[in-house]
């Protein structure tokens, strides 16, 4: 049990594991996305330049899968926690919208959002795009002539809102990572940044690659453990 107070500023980092119980496969687990596709073929700027259709095929498939997924008790527990702890900062590596579906607001999607697209050439802001569940027959174009791409941080690209993320990390009073393998940078190094300063807690069915940086690991499924993990104190 973790006792926290409304004065606390917990930094919560979630990964693919928090959505696993909602039926969205993790990247590296059994049935993971990467078992059918090679990362370099579908999730990099080079892949986009080489074969835009294949990239859209992959992201249309992921949109389809995520469109029927519903939040699980872990997502709801985090929403409740953020109501009790107004200074909680939620940062997700997930591109699905299950935290939002559960009622969470103001979170950072550091790797982008599956249901948003943007132009690959101009600065037009990303826009909601829930229709592309099937691979488009023709790759949509922007008015500027650029191609419309998924609003996703691909391998080799810089994650979103890192300034806000590091500001929150440096002010946090507790660090909690849930369902993330500790292998994808820069998120894998967040815990090292707070190491020795605050309590750091990992929650997932197996130890992450960066387990030695955590002060404690709770072994189990997020949906089963998270709803009872926190106690609100004075
Ligand atoms: P990952 O696949 O590398 O690791 C998933 C982790 O979740 C593993 O450590 C696994 O042990 C754990 N896990 C599995 N079931 C769990 C459960 N029920 N409860 C808690 N933990 C569980 O994923 P990652 O570390 O998030 O990083 C890889 C990349 O995958 C990220 O860039 C992320 O954007 C992307 N991704 C996102 C989604 C999504 O949006 N839902 C899904 C897959 C991958
Ligand atoms: Zn454009």
For residue 141, give the ligand nearest its CA.
Answer: 2
Q: How confident is the model at residue 90 (pLDDT cuts 50, 70, 90)?
A: very high
The DSSP-derived string for 143-208 is TTSPBEEEEE--TTSPPTTHHHHHHHHHH-SEEEEES--S-STTGGGHHHHHTTTSEEEEEESS--
Return the ligand 1 atom nearest residue 15 CA.
26
Of all protein residues, the one whose alpha carbon is nearest to atom 9 of ligand 1 is 181
Q: How confident is the model at residue 27 (pLDDT cuts 50, 70, 90)?
A: confident
* Mean pLDDT across 82-87: 97
pLDDT of residue 1: 85
pLDDT digits (tens, 9 = 90+) for 171-223: 999 999 999 999 999 999 999 999 999 999 999 999 999 999 999 999 999 99
User: 103: which 2 tokens?
Assistant: 């009622």
The DSSP-derived string for the chain is -EEE-TT--EEEEE-THHHHTTTPPPSSSTT-GGGTS-HHHHSSHHHHHH-HHHHHHHHHHHHHHHHT----HHHHHHHHHHHH-TT-EEEE---SSHHHHTT--S-EETTEEEEEEEESSS-PPPEE-----S--SS--B-TTSPBEEEEE--TTSPPTTHHHHHHHHHH-SEEEEES--S-STTGGGHHHHHTTTSEEEEEESS--TTGGG-SEEEES-HHHHGGGTEEE--
pLDDT digits (tens, 9 = 90+) for 120-159: 999 999 999 976 677 778 899 999 999 999 999 999 999 9
Q: How confident is the model at residue 36 (pLDDT cuts 50, 70, 90)?
A: confident
For residue 28, give the ligand nearest its CA.
Answer: 1
* Mean pLDDT across 76-84: 97
Give the Cα separation of 42 and 135 in Å (integer). 13
**Any ligand 1 atom below 6 A from CB of 208:** yes
**Which of the listed residues 26, 113, 179 should we mutate to test ligand 1's pocket, taking the one with most ligand atoms within 8 A of CB?**
26
Q: Which residue has the tokens 């982008």?
A: 112
For residue 93, give the ligand nearest its CA.
Answer: 1
Q: Which residue has the tokens 């815990």?
A: 191
What pTM did the predictor assign?
A: 0.95
User: 118: which 2 tokens?
Assistant: 């943007």
CA of 22 to the centre of ligand 1 (A): 12
**Which of the listed residues 12, 13, 15, 78 should we mutate to test ligand 1's pocket, taking the one with most ligand atoms within 8 A of CB?**
15
Residues within 5 Å of ion ligand 2, judged at the Cβ atom: 119, 121-122, 142, 144, 146
Catalytic: 111?
A: yes
**Which of the listed residues 12, 17, 227 should we mutate to test ligand 1's pocket, taking the one with most ligand atoms within 8 A of CB?**
17
């Amino acid at each position: 049990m973790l006792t926290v107070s409304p004065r606390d500023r917990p930094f919560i980092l979630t990964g693919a594991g928090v959505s696993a119980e909602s039926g969205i496969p993790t990247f590296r687990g059994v049935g993971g996305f990467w078992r059918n596709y090679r990362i370099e073929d579908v999730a990099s700027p080079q892949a986009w330049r080489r074969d835009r259709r294949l990239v859209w095929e992959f992201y249309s498939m992921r949109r389809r899968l995520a469109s029927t997924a519903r939040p699980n008790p872990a997502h709801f527990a985090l929403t409740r926690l953020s109501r009790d702890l107004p200074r909680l900062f939620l940062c997700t590596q997930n591109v699905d919208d299950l935290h939002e579906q559960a009622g969470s607001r103001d979170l950072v999607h550091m790797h982008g959002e599956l249901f948003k697209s943007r132009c690959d050439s101009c600065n037009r802001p990303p826009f909601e795009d829930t229709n592309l569940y099937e691979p488009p027959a023709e790759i949509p174009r922007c008015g500027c002539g650029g191609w419309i791409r998924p609003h996703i941080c691909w391998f080799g690209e810089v994650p979103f809102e890192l300034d806000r993320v590091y500001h929150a990390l440096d002010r946090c009073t507790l660090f909690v990572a849930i369902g993330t393998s500790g292998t994808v940078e820069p998120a894998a190094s967040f815990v090292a940044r707070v190491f020795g300063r605050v309590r750091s807690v990992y929650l997932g069915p197996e130890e992450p690659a960066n387990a030695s940086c955590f002060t404690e690991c709770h072994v189990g499924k997020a949906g089963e453990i998270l709803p009872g993990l926190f106690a609100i104190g004075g």
